[in-house]
Structure 1
Amino acid sequence: MKQRIITAIIAGAGFITVTIIGAWPFTLLMIGIATLALAELLRMKQVKILSTFGILSFILMWLLVIPESIVSFQWLHIPRLELFLLLIVVLLALTVITKNSFTFDEAGFLVLASVYIGFGFHYFIYTRFLDNGLALLIFILILVWSTDSGAYFAGRSFGKHKLWPEISPKKTIEGAIGGIVLAVIIGVIYLLIVPIFDSWVMTILFIFVVSVSGQMGDLVESALKRHYSVKDSGQVLPGHGGILDRFDSLIFVLPILYLFGFI
């Protein structure tokens, strides 16, 4: 527990500092974290990171994460999305070229993994550089962390009914509700100090979406770990596991907020 607390303080302080600084340090940090997260997924699937297929998956993910201001593909006269789709075609062609030693299922995993990580961190960067991006991103971080804390303590104190035992045996319905309640309380306090929305209806809806989708993101990663029979996604953060163990909620929340028109 002591190691877990020390890691949380040091890593959390460093992450918040770089988030406040913004600009290229924040962008480079997000690209680096996204790269480590994808590496963890590849290890779960037992795909060698420096293999042809591993490198292709990194390229797919970087196409989604790295901003146009850092790497531009205008000289190719091909939009990024079309280049991304072209690489998917290449992956499918490799299933034929390798005579199915590289299978359709493996190609599907690499594409889905790059989209899962790529879009999550893409919208992380996108949100930070909005006009009110810093206040909004800090708000989202606070809501996700409040949800995690509320779910943990409510689950331990009142948890009786399992939320989804086939995926995460320890999570309870009472814990999930506790996470939402604490997120609402902390979120309202934050917005009384740093106003972001004009409407309280919009505020409560935003908090609810973040809290629920954050818990869903946590369950998605739990399902991945259970499927691949691993306890933690990695060992990058002592006492906390891997990058995905810390960012699973956030990379699920941000694309959903974008799709719902909140960011």
Structure 2
Amino acid sequence: MNDSPWAAEPVAAGPAYDALVGPQTRPMSIVPDAAGRDFDDREARDRGAAAFGGPPFRAETPPQEPMPSPPPPPSQVPQDASPPPQKKRAGRDLRAAIGVGVGLGAVIFASLFIVKAVFVGVIVVAVVVGLWELTSRLQEKKGIKAPLVPLAVGGAAMVIAGYVRGAEGAWVAMALTALAVLVWRMTEAPEDYLKDVTAGVFAAFYVPFLATFVAMLLTADDGPQRVVTFLVLTVVSDTGAYAVGWRFGKTKLAPRISPGKTREGLFGAVAFAMAAGALCMEFLIDGGSWWQGLLLGLAVAVSATLGDLGESMIKRDLGIKDMGTLLPGHGGIMDRLDSLLPTAPVVWLLLAAFVGTG
């Protein structure tokens, strides 16, 4: 017995009922819904909803969102829809770099052609600042305490001795500087002694000893012209490598050391340096010849590239981008000396072989 208050007499068949559900070939079961109302089975409900003009289960089936239209084929995409190609950009502030470079060039050339001793002072200042940057980064990143005081004093003495007494004076000053580093470090605890003095001797050789060859270039009668040749070839080599590598560079030269350098850039450095070397040897160096300038330019391009890679190796080991921030657009002093330092003995040696040291 049905106790539901909604129970009612069975609906009698009649014209209205027939119009609603249509003729049946089998008896229809009465199924109460959740609210207690009597509905016929699913088939009857479907036909009843359709009779009133609506789809079956309108309330139970949510409306479907329209399917997105497929994208047009590539042939119908307008040409201007593709993103514009990205231009290559330099990694540094070129305006600041050019301004600092012009300022340094003015100081160097003024000191070269006015009083030679003033240029020796410029070398000493660059050496001391470079040693400070190098030893500071070693201590910050590796905990290596290379003694700065004996390095700075010995480095300055090394440059002056090279200018006054030549190669012999430079070697003696180098030996005394290394000895001073060993003794100075003895005043502290013995832990890491070998590591610290090894770094100190390396710094003495890498910065002041190599820079001494620039002072030795200045001692010749045409010393200012030799220094200018050395600086011009190194700068032109770096500029040629940058310009050609930026425009045409595709093949990496040493991706594990310096990912920005390419073989195409190296070819540009060689071409630019050889052309500049021929001009400098022909018009600046007494007794020089253009073919000697070609050889000199080739050697400078190789040594400058190796010097740049060498400092990049040091910076990668230390986990830094620049040795310092003293020069806007350039980094630190050591970031500008990287290609100059190993190039100085190469230029001094080749000029001595080609035209002598007088």
**TM-score, normalising length from structure 2?**
0.63
Q: Is the 8 A contact 2:282 2:293 kept in 1?
A: no
Residue 60 in structure 1 maps to residue 154 in structure 2: yes
Q: Structure 1 residues 248 and 103, CA, compared in 2 at 3 Å: closer, same or farther?
A: same
Matched, 1:94 2:182: no
Single out whichever of 120-129 and 183-192 deviates more from structure 2: 183-192
Displacement of 1:258: 3.9
Contact 1:41 1:233 in 2 (8 A): yes
Question: How far, CA to CA, are the matches of 2:339 and 2:163 in structure 1?
Answer: 27
Provide the secondary structure at the position in 1 that maps to 2:259.
strand
The equivalent of 1:253 in structure 2 is: 343
In the alignment, which residue of structure 1 is the partner of 2:194? Answer: 104
Q: RCO higher in 1 or 2 (8 Å CA, sep ≥ 6)?
A: 1
1:170 Cα deviation (Å)?
0.4
Does 2:298 correspond to 1:208? yes
Q: 2:107 — aligned with what?
A: 14
The equivalent residue for 1:123 is 213
Find the counterpart in structure 2 of residue 149 from structure 1.
Answer: 239
Equivalent position of 1:74 in the other structure: none
Q: Name the structure 1 match of 2:127.
A: 34
Shift, 1:209, TM fit: 1.1
**How many angstroms apart in 2 are the aligned matches of 1:68 and 1:252?**
16
Counterpart of 1:67 in 2: which secondary structure?
A: helix
Q: Aligned partners of 1:198, 1:55: CA distance in 2, in Å?
A: 41
Cα distance 1:118–1:158, how it changes in 2: closer, same or farther (>3 A)? same
Q: How does 1:214-253 map to 2 (within 5 A)?
A: 214-253=304-343
The C-alpha deviation readout for 1:69-93, integer Å capped at 9, x for no partner, is 889xxxxxxx5455335325426x7
Identity within the alignment, %: 30
The residue type paired with residue 245 of structure 2 is G
Amino acid at match of 1:16: F
Structure 1 residue runs without a partner (length 5+): 72-78
Are 1:22 and 1:128, in contact at CA under 8 Å, matched by a contact in 2?
A: no
The normalised TM-score by structure 1 is 0.85
Q: Deviations over 1:162-203 (max 9, x none)?
A: 111111110001101111101112222334433445444432
Structure 2: how far apart are the matches of 1:197 and 1:230? 45
Q: Secondary structure at the match of 2:106?
A: helix
Which of these residues, 106, 116, 122, is aligned with residue 23 of structure 1? 116
- CA 1:242–1:125 in 2, change beyond 3 Å: closer, same or farther? same
Contact 1:45 1:228 in 2 (8 A): yes
**Equivalences, count:** 250
2:203 paired residue among 94, 105, 113: 113
Taking a change above 3 Å as real, the CA distance of residues 254 and 68 of structure 1, as seen in their structure-2 partners, is closer
Correspondence 1:164-203 to 2 at 5 A: 164-203=254-293
Letter in 2 for 1:31: V
Distance change >3 Å, CA 249–CA 22, structure 1 → 2:
farther
* 2: CA distance, partners of 1:146 / 1:125: 21
Q: For residue 22 of structure 2, what is the aligned residue in structure 1?
A: none
Give the CA RMSD over aligned residues: 2.6
Contiguous gaps of at least 5 residues in structure 2: 1-93, 166-171
Q: Which has the higher helix share?
A: 1
Conserved in 2, the CA contact under 8 Å of 1:123 and 1:255? yes
2:253 match: secondary structure: strand
Deviation track 1:75-133 (CA, whole Å, cap 9, x = no partner) reads: xxxx5455335325426x729x6231x33122111110111111122111111121121
Check conservation: 1:147, 1:179, Cα contact below 8 A: yes
Per the alignment, do residues 106 and 195 of structure 1 end up closer, same or farther by CA in structure 2, a change over 3 Å counting?
closer
